[in-house]
Amino acid sequence: MRPIYMDHHATTPVDQRVLEAMLPYFTEEFGNASSIDHEYGSRADEAVQQARSQVARLIRAKPEEIIFTSGATESNNLAILGVAEALADKGRHIITAATEHPAILDPCLYLERHGWQITRLPVDRFGLVDLDALQRAIRPDTVLISIMTANNEIGTIAPIKAIGEIAREHGVLFHTDATQAAGYLPLDVQELHVDLLSLSGHKMYGPKGIGALYVRRFKRSLRLEAQIRGGGHERGLRSGTLNVPGIVGLGKAAEIASREMRQESERLRRLRDRLWEGLRARVPGIEINGHPTQRLPHNLNIYLPGVNNRALLVALKHELAFATGSACATTKVEPSHVILALGYPEERAKSSIRLGLGRSNTEQEIDRAVDSLAGAVEELTHKLRI
């Protein structure tokens, strides 16, 4: 038997229905979506248009506001660098948060090396930025605020609507990395006052290597600076022959999520709470990292006092697949920058794990995971005492 998979924040499997929707576009329907002068191309183009609508519907955007990319990393780069370069004459100050994904923090670091100023807002114990601090950080030369919708490690959900309102009041663009929230929480870019939003296929049961950036269409024209130049695809914002099978897969994944999110998120929340209650009853001193209630329904990030998370990973290698930080930084074995940003010492970061539930997980698996984790924790802490 393979280990139980509880690392859905790192990636999810492709849904069978998504795979089936994609398959024809590898073979018979292989046309280039730009070659609309003939049937092959126009059929591919139609499939792309349908997917654009499906993705738009998931976040209540208009189809023409969706730019297909290779994933959320590229979407984030396009948002940050595209706005920074487009508005460089207006100002060179960007506000973000300390707990963002590396795909936000790294482009910001790059800009900083090239003369931009970056404010990285601190967060409280729960992972929330302070809205007054955000207001105070806005300057006349601020061009962009980028705050993630939900954190990929601790699951904390940011008050996106309030942040969007602040950004709008000050005439500053607002980008949110919604990669972990899309498909799990209802999102409405109008209601939330979001100008740019990133999402990724493989975090919502679509394929890897495909994502999208929502770019609001303004009356006054804001033209992001493209980061990949060429034939002018995707409104000139992202050149390159469209990944038609990937796009069809992302569209189908978005359609399924739009339809099933409510029920599935509720199911995941119940499973997650069962997991937490089970662990809390059996692991002394266990604590939640992140917000107790304002969190993703399928996320549980826990502190296991006295347990080295790497040792736990090894001990449970055949039983349970989970994460000790974020997959995006696993080449480094540094303690999680997110747990540290909550104000905890390194010791806590090294004794914390992330459990991410998903469609395949069952109640039986939750109970087995509780047994495995509690047993391994007991063994590891017992060894430590001897």
Q: How far is CA 114 from CA 85, 93, 121, 154, in A?
A: 11, 12, 20, 31
How would you label 172-205 residue by residue, b for 16+ Cβ within 10 Å and e otherwise? bbbbbbbbbbbbbbebebeebbbbbbbbbbbbbb
Torsional sign, CA 69, 248, 61, 161: negative
Q: Which residues contact 112 (CB under 8 A, 6 or more apart)?
A: 118
Looking at beta carbons, which pairs linking 189-192 to residues 24 or more positions away fall under 8 Å?
A: 189/59, 189/60, 189/61, 189/65, 189/214, 189/216, 190/60, 191/60, 191/161, 192/160, 192/161, 192/164
Q: Are 306 and 359 in contact (CB under 8 A)?
A: no
108 an active-site residue?
no
Least Å distance between CB 208 and ligand PLP?
A: 7
With H, G, I as helix, E, B as strand and everything else as coil, classify residue 144: strand
List 131, 137, 328, 329, catalytic entry:
328
| Cβ count near 92 (within 10 Å) | 18
Which residue lies nearer to ligand PLP by CB, 10 or 173? Answer: 10
Q: Which residues contact 385 (CB under 8 A, 6 or more apart)?
A: none
Q: Which residues contact 224 (CB under 8 A, 6 or more apart)?
A: 78, 79, 82, 83, 86, 215, 237
With H, G, I as helix, E, B as strand and everything else as coil, classify residue 293: coil
Site of interaction with ligand PLP (CB under 6 A):
71-73, 101, 103, 148, 152, 177, 179-180, 200, 203, 211
Q: Which residues are catalytic?
A: 328
